[in-house]
Amino acid sequence: MLRDINFTDVFKSSFLENVAAVTIFDIVLALCLAFCLGLFISFVYRKTFAGVMYSSSFGTTLVALTMITTLVILAVTSNVVLSLGMVGALSIVRFRTAIKEPMDIAFLFWAIAAGIVLAAGMIPLAVFGSVVIGIVMLIFANRKDLTKPYIVVINVDGHDNETKAVEYLKSKTKKCVTKSKTARKGNVELNMEIRLSDDNTDFINELSEMEGVGSAVLVSFNGDYMG
- Pairing mode, strands 149-156 and 213-220: antiparallel
- Say whether pLDDT at 124 is over 70: yes
pTM over 0.85: no
Which of 30, 116, 97 has its CA nearest to residue 57?
97
Positive or negative: CA dihedral 68, 71, 77, 81: negative
Among 100-104, 159-163, 166-170, 216-220, where is mean pLDDT lowest? Answer: 100-104
- The reported pLDDT for the residue numbered 20 is 56
- Say whether pLDDT at 92 is over 70: no
- Say whether pLDDT at 123 is over 80: yes
- State pLDDT tens for residues 79-90: 655 555 555 555
Determine contact, residues 141/48, Cβ cutoff 8 Å.
Answer: yes
- The reported pLDDT for the residue numbered 95 is 58
- The reported pLDDT for the residue numbered 120 is 84
- State pLDDT tens for residues 164-181: 888 888 888 888 888 888
Q: CB-based contacts of 103: which residues, under 8 Å, 6+ apart?
A: 48, 50
CATH 3.30.70.370 correct for 149-220 = no
- The reported pLDDT for the residue numbered 73 is 83
How many Cα atoms occupy the beta-carbon half-sphere of 182 within 13 Å?
5
- The reported pLDDT for the residue numbered 227 is 40
Write down the domain spans for the chain: 7-141, 149-220
Residue 193: strand pairing partners = 151, 177
Mean pLDDT value across residues 46-60: 78
Phi/psi of residue 2, each to 5°? -75, 130
Mean per-residue pLDDT of the chain? 77
- The reported pLDDT for the residue numbered 2 is 45
Percent of the chain with pLDDT over 70: 73
- State pLDDT tens for residues 55-68: 788 889 899 999 98
- Say whether pLDDT at 3 is over 80: no
